[in-house]
Amino acid sequence: MREHIAAHKAAGVPVTRLTVMAAFGCNYQGDVPPSAVVEAVADGFTIANEAGLAFEKVSIADSMGWATPQRISRVIGALRETWPELPISLHLHDTRGLGIASAYEGLRLGVRYFDAAVAGLGGCPFAGHPGAPGNIATEELVLMCEEMGIATGIDLDALMEAGRLAERIVGRQLPSAALRSGTIDTFRKRAA
């Protein structure tokens, strides 16, 4: 981390976020205990302090698709015990179809920042899950929030069109279930 921060500072690139990768599990190491995530964040804060930096938020990443609602609860709970007001961002993958359920658990626990990708683009090339979906789909996250009464300020129809455009550009169907099924309004129109 010290080398990365020094390189960023030398290039004039602001360092505003600490990211802990593979925070819920790793295909090489196995299960990652919440205490290891807390230790990694504490180390990051120490190194940032040495460099005269302050992070705006801490990103907890599910780089290899191990997150489940239970793992989210354990890790976020451990972080909140140590830093109750810590702004946390979740970076989730939908490798085993649990990405949105994990995002829901994060929301329930007060997480307000999420990384997502249009149509679920992305993924982790070294995770060893050939054909697995990538990041959680932005439109699925927005749809879930809107259905829960959480205003996002995002035009869901435009976002869905962006997902369709992404599919045309890459020339294949992308993982987003929302692109295939649509929104509740889509269901209402079909039923009418």
Active site residues: 124
> Cβ distance 120 to 134 under 8 Å?
yes
Measure Cα distances from 18 to 15, 31, 94, 116, 161 in Å.
8, 21, 22, 17, 32
Exposure string (b/e) for 152-188, b if CB count within 10 Å is 16 or more? eeeebeebbeebeebbeeeeeebbbbbbeebbeeeee
User: Can you say how many angstroms the Cα of residue 105 is from the centroid of all Cα atoms in its chain?
Assistant: 12
**Count of CB atoms situated within 10 Å of the CB of 112:** 12
How many whole angstroms separate alpha carbon 57 and alpha carbon 8?
17
**Count of CB atoms situated within 10 Å of the CB of 94:** 29
Q: Would you state the torsion angle of the CA atoms of residues 149, 153, 156, 159, taken in this order, to the nearest 10 degrees?
A: -140
Determine the residue type at 67: A
